[in-house]
């Protein structure tokens, strides 16, 4: 099975940049996209549909903001889907879609960005805490979990080009980074870093300063998987060659569960 995550930085914008062709190239069984920035009524049926997939769309209440969508290849069975975490302050921003399969829970998540100030950093940290508690409840029930999406945090110095210069920048603050460590200390593995402990690759580049051309980036897009799932992971592929957004897609390949 192939699961791909991609922050598209605006669904209507990425449609004009070979989005559907890029998806065909990656050929995921499940596609998780973030930062759609659109409600369904703003998109034509033809544009929103991908041939051979069903989809779940979760838009933020605020127009042109946040939003996630999950596309599932026809024929893949799942028991249920939810757009809500049960916390209104987070749910109104359209940040999650949860898919439940027989023994697996897949979270497609657009984690909050803390760059608008201390209040949003606090919001972001509370989101991390709430989701981890929810995942702990699922682990206690014997479920395996995959969390994927834009985490809006680079975990360690290897995960961004200029760590010292960004030590006081949201996305690399100690209080943000510790939350990824908390997940890793509570039943999760960073699948990419487990497979490639010393490899330097990025998934996001600012549009400024020719950062992508110069490969001055951050690794912000992750697959955190339950410890027990790690043995089933075949590969994690960062598709740096695929354009269309300031993020690139990342694909998890795993044996059938």
216-254 pLDDT, tens digit per residue, is: 999 999 999 999 999 999 999 999 999 999 999 999 999
The dihedrals phi and psi of 242, each to the nearest 5 degrees, come to -90, 120
Residue 257, pLDDT above cutoff 80: no
Mean pLDDT score of the chain? 97
Give the pLDDT band (50/70/90) at residue 115. confident
**Interacting residues of 248 by C-beta distance below 8 A, sequence separation 6+:** 6, 203, 204, 221, 238, 239, 240, 241, 242
Question: How much is the average pLDDT of 101-121?
Answer: 94
Residue 169, pLDDT above cutoff 70: yes
Question: How much is the average pLDDT of 88-99?
Answer: 98
> pLDDT tens digits for 122-152?
999 999 999 999 999 999 999 999 999 999 9
Q: Which residues are catalytic?
A: 150
Residue spans of beta strands (DSSP E) within the chain: 2-7, 30-34, 53-58, 68-73, 80-82, 96-100, 104-110, 144-150, 188-190, 221-226, 233-238, 250-254
Phi-psi region of 94 (alpha: psi -120 to 50; beta: other; left: phi over 0): left
Residue 79, pLDDT above cutoff 90: yes
Domains and CATH numbers, the chain: 2-254 (3.60.10.10)
Given a contact cutoff of 8 angstroms between Cβ atoms, the answer to whether 215 and 203 are in contact is no
pLDDT of residue 116: 80
- Total-model pTM: 0.98
Which H or E element spans position 91?
helix 88-91
């Amino acid at each position: 099975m192939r699961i791909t995550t991609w922050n598209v930085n605006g669904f209507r914008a990425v449609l004009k940049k070979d989005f559907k062709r890029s998806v065909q190239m990656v050929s995921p069984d499940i596609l998780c996209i973030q930062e759609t920035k659109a409600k369904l009524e703003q998109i034509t049926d033809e544009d929103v549909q991908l041939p051979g997939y069903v989809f779940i769309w979760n838009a933020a209440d605020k127009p042109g903001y946040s939003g996630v969508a999950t596309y599932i290849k026809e024929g893949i069975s799942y028991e249920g889907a939810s757009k809500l975490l049960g916390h209104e302050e987070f749910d109104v921003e359209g940040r999650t879609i949860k898919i439940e399969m027989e023994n697996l829970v897949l979270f497609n998540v657009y984690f909050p960005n803390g760059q608008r100030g201390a209040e949003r950093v606090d919001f972001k940290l509370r989101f991390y805490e709430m989701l981890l508690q929810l995942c702990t409840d699922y682990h206690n029930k014997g479920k395996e979990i995959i969390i994927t999406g834009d985490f809006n945090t680079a975990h360690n110095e290897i995960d961004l080009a200029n760590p010292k210069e960004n030590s006081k920048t949201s996305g690399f603050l100690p209080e943000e980074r510790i939350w990824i460590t908390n997940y890793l200390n509570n039943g999760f593995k960073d699948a990419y870093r487990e497979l490639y402990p010393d490899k330097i690759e990025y998934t996001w580049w600012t549009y400024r300063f020719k950062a992508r051309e110069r490969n001055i980036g951050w690794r912000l897009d992750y697959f955190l998987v339950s410890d027990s799932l790690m043995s089933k992971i075949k590969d994690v592929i960062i598709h740096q060659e695929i354009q269309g957004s300031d993020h690139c897609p990342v694909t998890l390949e795993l044996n059938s569960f």
